[in-house]
Structure 1
Amino acid sequence: MAVLSSVAEFMAEEDWEEFCERLEQYFLANNIKDTETEKRRRAMFLSVIGGKTYESLKTLLAPQKPTENTYEELWQVLQDHLSPKPVVIAERYRFWTVRQKAGQSVSQYLAELRRLAEKCQFGNFLNDALRDMFVIGLLDTAVQKKITQRNTIDLK
């Protein structure tokens, strides 16, 4: 079977979860299923995590070798190490204190709010939180004033 595309090596400055999402899509595109090709998934995973990450993984697993673990076990070890569970109160603090920066477009500001909200666990309150923080953090106070004079405000 021909391999479709490739996955760039993970770099330490990258977001671990985004890298894993891309890797899962690579596995899907190449029909590399969980149980059928466990050794192949593990080999590909170990090949693309990068030298520094591989070194960290070896240290975290010592005295075991990475090849003595399943793909899922390896992934979980790195997930716990590189992307620990967020502290919700800290994530919400970042969300509630962000403001539009000088030179930042309205769409860039909204995208930043959406990114920050991902780990806040707002649930059904997400759209209201985004709308409220969008208005609160706008640099243009004239626009802020116009928006807050409306009875109903929708993020759209």
Structure 2
Amino acid sequence: MANIRFSEFNGKSDDWIIYRERLEQYYTANSITSEQMKVATLLSIIGAETYKLLRDLSHPKLPKERKYDELMVLLTKQYGLQVNVWRERRKFYEAKQEINENVADYYARIRSLSVNCNFEKNLTDILKDKLNAKKRPTNR
């Protein structure tokens, strides 16, 4: 085992989707493949507050009596963001390059804004269109 430290989940400030992706990489780095070990690892590292909530959501079973996928569904329902795609797209399309923002930073920002827009296979073309259509800021 690589013995890599992993932080506990904070439901008030952490993004569950990001945490879950990192958790999957933690399993890979530590060669954790069995269902039983994934459950034990998850329950050991999520932290006391998240464990208590998971225990309540899992009732009448204890979390250790559930399958890994069941636990992930419970946590995702609780912490996964409910995204309004239309609102996210509006934010994306309304984004303008700031006066002191270079193109690389602007691209990174609009790329980040596109994450919850569900552009899927059209993402590259939409980003190109957004970059080509942007109005250059003026210092007037």
TM-score, structure 2 as length reference: 0.80
Q: Deviations over 1:91-150 (max 9, x none)?
A: 2122222233465443232212112212212133212221233355566248xxxxxxxx
Q: Percent identity between the aligned chains?
A: 34
In structure 2, what is the equivalent of residue 154 of structure 1? none
1:28 Cα shift?
0.9
> Given the alignment of the two structures, is residue 39 of structure 1 paired with residue 36 of structure 2, yes or no?
yes
1:16 Cα shift?
1.1
Whole-Å separation in 1 of the counterparts to 2:7 and 2:56: 23
In structure 2, what is the equivalent of residue 153 of structure 1? none
Q: Which amino acid aligns with 2:50?
A: T
Whole-Å separation in 1 of the counterparts to 2:114 and 2:90: 10
Change over 3 Å in CA distance of 1:109–1:32 after alignment to 2: same
Count of residue pairs the alignment pairs up: 138
Out of 89, 92, 103, the position equivalent to 1:92 is: 89
Change over 3 Å in CA distance of 1:83–1:138 after alignment to 2: farther
Name stretches of at least 5 consecutive residues in structure 1 with no aligned partner.
143-156
Whole-Å separation in 2 of the counterparts to 1:140 and 1:62: 56
Q: Deviations over 1:73-97 (max 9, x none)?
A: 1011111221145332222122222
> Given the alignment of the two structures, is residue 8 of structure 1 paired with residue 7 of structure 2, yes or no?
yes
Relative contact order higher in (CA < 8 Å, ≥ 6 apart): 2
Q: Which amino acid aligns with 1:11?
A: N
1:10 Cα shift?
1.7
Whole-Å separation in 2 of the counterparts to 1:104 and 1:59: 47
Whole-Å separation in 2 of the counterparts to 1:46 and 1:137: 47
* Equivalent residues in 2 for 1:3-152, closer than 5 Å: 3-12=2-11, 13-33=13-33, 37-101=34-98, 104-135=101-132, 140-141=137-138
Q: Is residue 113–residue 134 contact of structure 1 (8 Å, CA) maintained in 2?
A: no
CA RMSD, 1 decimal: 2.4
